[in-house]
Amino acid sequence: MSTEENRLYSGGGAMSCWNLLLYLVEKYTNRETAILASKYFAIDIDRESQSVFAMFQGQKNHNDASIKKAQEFIENNIQESITIEELANLVSVGRRSFERRFKLATNHSVLEYINRLKMENAKRSFETSRKNINEVMYDVGYTDTKAFRTIFRKFTGLSPIEYRNKYNKMTAA
């Protein structure tokens, strides 16, 4: 990921210097030369996002005991379909109040938090097991393949198959 403003170039991330290099090669020569350089140096060209590298652990650095209890419930029941009403009832708080407090404590809506946690578990499963997409999908509580693929791509920038092929040692072997 590279940016340019007033002839000032910048890249974000530990190894972004390589992406910046390709950007400059393309800018000052041509696209074909940049592609050739990306192949020589084994650099993923045109990556516009670093979302594939994001790791979600959930914000727990807050003092709301009820929200922490709900977070623990979500983590321990990741394979289940959890509703906001169920969580609000668990901590004996009204739904709207629960949603406001959850967002304030975690910086995420309840549904976004649940989905991020499920996708983090799915990523870990793709990285470490030979399970197929449907098995992983069911393990993290999804029954709709299209919804799972859409949400997975939203959070990682890759399809489940692309992610597994890129990050699973067993697949690469």
Break the chain into its structural domains and give their ranges: 2-48, 55-173
Mean of pLDDT values over 40-61: 65
Is-contact 109 67, C-beta < 8 A?
no
pLDDT score recorded for residue 22? 81
pTM greater than the 0.75 cutoff: no
pLDDT score recorded for residue 35? 75
Strand, helix or coil for residue 2: strand
Average pLDDT, the chain: 85
Architecture of the domain defined by 55-173: Orthogonal Bundle (1.10)
Distance CA 106, CA 59 (A): 5
Q: What is the pLDDT of residues 110-165, one digit of tens each?
A: 999 999 999 999 999 998 899 999 999 999 999 999 999 999 999 888 999 998 98
